[in-house]
Every structure is written in C-alpha cells, then in structure tokens.
Amino acid sequence: MIRLEPRLLRPKWLSVAVPVGSIVVALVLGAILITVSGNSALDTYGRILDVAFGSVQSWSDTIVAATPLLLTGLAAAAAFKMGLFNIGGQGQFVMGAIAASGVGLALPDVTGFVSIPLMIAAGMLAGGLWAAIPGFFKTRFGTNEVITTLMLNYVAANVAGYLIFGSMSFWRLTTGSGQVFPQGRPLSDEAVWPAFGGGGLEIPLGFILGCMAAACLWALYRYTRFGFEIGVVSDSPEAARYAGINVPRTGLAVMTLSGALAGLGGASDIGDIRHVLDPKGLGQTGYGYTGIVVAALARWNPLAVIPLSILLGALANAGRALQGATFPAGLVGTLQGLLLFCAVSGEFLTRYRVRVGHKRPLSAAELEAQAA
C-alpha cells in the first residue's frame, strides 16, 4: 500500500534537489519527445547550449532574452509567494511598455538622464495600477484574481493594438512607411536605454535594474516589517488580523508591487530592446506567462529568479536562432511547459512523504521527540 503523508518538516536539501531534479526530468522527457519525432536529442541539446552560451555574443543575446523574463519572473514571485495568483504579468508588462514609450516619445530631446528614469517610473506606475485593479477587486470583494488578471491581459493587448492599429494615436508612426503599414513611432536616440559591459558582452540596463529589484525584493521579504506582515498574511490571515495587520491593504500593496515589476519589464522592452511599441511582437512573446515558469522553478525566491531567467532566456534565444527543419518550432514551449509541470509536481515531494506500507504517520509529539 502506498500512502501520502504530509511532511511536518521540510528538509533543506529538498529545496535544492527538487528544482534541479525537475529540470533534469523535464530535459529527459523532452529528449524522449525529440527522439520519438526522429531527431537526435543530444545533438539538439548540444546546439541549444552552443547557441545560448557558446560565445560572448550568444551570452549577450541570452541575457537580452532573459531581461523581460527576469522582471516578469520577479513580478510572479512577489505575488505568488503571498498566495496571490497574478496571472496578469503579461498585461502589466504591456501597460508598462505603453506608458514608458509614451513618456519616451513625449521627451525626445531631453537628456536620457531625465527621460530614462521617467520612462522607468511611468512603466512601473502603469503596470502597478493595472495590477491594482484586480488587486482592489480581490481585497474588496474577494473576486478571484486568476480570472480578472487573465482577462486584463487581453484588454491590455487590445489597448496596445488600438493605439497602433485602431487609431491615429500619439504612439503611431504617421510618416514614411507608417502610412502604409501601421506601426509605432521609434524612440529618439536620447531615450534609448544604455547597455553596459565590455569585451563584446552587452548587458542591458533592464537586466541590471532587474538584478537590483531582485535583491530589493529579497531584502523586502526578509528584512522588513512589511515583509514580515506578508509572511503572516499568506500563512494565516486570522493570525494576521489578530496581530493587528491590515490584511486587505497588504494584499493590495503586494499586487501593485508585482504589477510594477512587470511594468518595469515592459519599460525595459521599449527602452532596451524594441524602441517602439509593437503590439504584435509583445503578444507573441508571452513574457508574462514565461515569467511564471521562471518564478515557479525558482520556488518564488527572488534571487533564484536571476539564474533561472537566464536559463529560460537561453532556451528562448536558442529557439529563435535555431528555428528550422531539424529544430521544430514549438520545442521551446514544450520544454518550458515540461519544466513547469515537473517543477510544480516536484513541489509535491517537499510537501508529502510517499510511504510504502501500513505504518501509522508520526504524531507531532513523536516528531518532537525525534527532533529533540
């Protein structure tokens, strides 16, 4: 007889072994799929590695691909850690992109030292407000945030589409090729974000901001009163109320913070990568959703989001570069999906112990005796 038994204590080693194990299992499952469909798995993985990490240039590309995932991953980590299912990273990302490009376009001749911080602020504000809408409904009425954030992704995509395709908005290019194909106005050179690094390695500003945000978020959750309150609210709202913590306000704040991080990702997408509001491009990337994969693999730990965003960024980068006959489209998404499934299923092992046999579960008292 096989029985599941909740673990009272979660061993430390499991929190490392489970993510590593789930990545391995996902890669093995992926390999089986590749082999069954008639390609060499080793060869495919080898080429992914090579394209993603083989040269300085590929490192640069990988980090560029990782930047939006880092920020949406942090957005997901911030909210999910508190048990708020913000699936709306995508929409918040798009709103951030809209606001940041709006500010960038409005200040074409102002020095980047002024316009870039304003773009960042605008992106975060827009993303935060967009997330505050479902956050408000959630904390005020208990409206399920999963569906509302999801719906707002599509609304945001339509807002972006409307600005470029459906109207003659401020964001739309109305001269040159813009008269033939609807497209966004490009940023002025001043408003384009700088990249850092040397020896051919280029790290976009957004990635650096993301690393700083990860550190801040980690410190916020770990070292501040606010983080302490978040921990209590997510574990036991009753205890939080008993301790005099304002539960709805804490939830709304976390939702807004999460949205602001995704919005920062959108701003970086404009400032670092695209330099133009591109609704179709934003829609295809699905950064908001991949960010949740990143955060789940990182077990909602902000610092772990950094390496995992690079990992999934590498995968995305390789997918783009390798697409072709022997590297079918869809492989990247499949691998991402497998990774996420394995990660969340592996989480199960940290919560339950699988026991074979009829043995009675240990009581709290016995565990205590064992521990002592």
Partner 1 sequence: MNDSFLMAILVSALFYGTPLLFAALGEVLTERSGVLNLGVEGMMLMGAVVGSVVSARLGGPSWFVLGVAILAAMLVGALTALLHAFATITLRVEQTVSGLALTILAGAAGLSSYLANVWQLRDPVPHQFTRIDVLGLAGLPVVGPLLFHQTFLTYLSWVLVAVGSWYLFRTRAGLNLRAVGESPSTADAMGLNVVRTRYVHTLAGGALAGIGGICFSLSIVPTWQDGMTAGRGWIALALVIFGFWRPVWVMLGAYLFGALASLSLTLQAQGIDIAPEILDSIPYVMTIVVLVAVSAGWSSRRLSAPDALGTAFEREAR
Partner 2 sequence: MATAETGAGAPVPGGRPSNAADASGPASARAGGVPAVSMRGVTKRFVGVVANDHVDLEVAPGEVHALLGENGAGKSTLSNVLTGLYRPDEGTIRLFGQEVSFSSPRDAIAAGVAMVHQHFRLVTKFTVAENFLLGSGGAYDAKTAAQRIRELGEEYGLPVDPDANVWELSVGEQQRVEILKALDRRARILILDEPTAVLTPQEADALFATMRRMADDGRSVIFISHKLQEVMKVSDRVTTLRDGKTVGTVVTAETTSAELARQMVGRSVVFSADDTADRPEVDPDRVVLDVRGLSAEGVRPQSSPKGVDLQVHAGEIVAICGVSGNGQRELAAAIYGIRRRTAGTVAIDGVQSRQKGPRESTALGLAFIPEDRLRTGLSPSLPIHANLALKGYRRPPLSRGPFLDGRAIRARAEELVRRYGIKTPSIDTPTRVLSGGNVQKVLLAREIGSDPHILIASTPTRGLDVGAIETVRHLLMDAARAGTGVLLITEDLDEAMALAHRIVVMFEGRVVGEFPRGHYDIERIGLLMGGHTGDREGAA
Interacting positions 261-280 with partner 2 (CB under 8 A): none
Q: What is the DSSP string of 48-111?
A: HHHHHHSSHHHHHHHHHHHHHHHHHHHHHHHHHTTT----THHHHHHHHHHHHHHHHHH-TTS-
Contact pick of 170, 223, 348, 352 for partner 2 (by CB under 8 A): 223
What whole-number distance in Å separates Cα of residue 54 and Cα of residue 185? 35
- Is residue 212 within the footprint of partner 2 (CB under 8 A)? no
What whole-number distance in Å separates Cα of residue 132 and Cα of residue 120? 18
Q: Which amino acid is at 20?
A: V
Q: Which of 359, 371, 344, 358 is nearest to 9 (CA)?
A: 371
Sign for the CA dihedral angle at 167, 170, 176, 182 comes to: negative
| Cα separation values, 290 from 132, 167, 308, 311, Å | 21, 30, 11, 12
Stretch near partner 2 under the rule CB under 8 A, chosen from 52-60, 114-122, 226-234, 293-301: 226-234
Q: Which of 282, 253, 280, 257 is nearest to 267 (CA)?
A: 282
- Is residue 5 within the footprint of partner 2 (CB under 8 A)? no
CB of 240 to partner 2, least distance (A): 8
CA 127, distance to chain mean position in Å, is 13
* Contact call for residues 102 and 170 (beta carbons, < 8 A): yes
* Contact call for residues 18 and 346 (beta carbons, < 8 A): yes
Report the residue number, 43 or 235, with the smaller CB distance to partner 2: 235
CB of 372 to partner 1, least distance (A): 23
CB of 39 to partner 1, least distance (A): 9
Interacting positions 14-33 with partner 1 (CB under 8 A): 33
Binding mask 125-154 for partner 1 (x = CB under 8 A): ------------x--xxxxx-xxx-xxx-x
CB of 230 to partner 2, least distance (A): 11
Contact pick of 159, 211, 247, 362 for partner 1 (by CB under 8 A): 159
Stretch near partner 1 under the rule CB under 8 A, chosen from 103-111, 115-123, 161-169, 240-248: 161-169
What residue ranges bind partner 2 (CB under 8 A)?
A: 8-9, 223-228, 231-232, 235-236, 238-244, 363-368, 371-372
What residue ranges bind partner 1 (CB under 8 A)?
A: 6, 33, 37-38, 80, 85, 87, 137, 140-144, 146-148, 150-152, 154-155, 158-159, 161-162, 165-167, 286, 289-290, 292-293, 296, 328-334, 336-338, 340-341, 344-345, 347-348, 351, 361
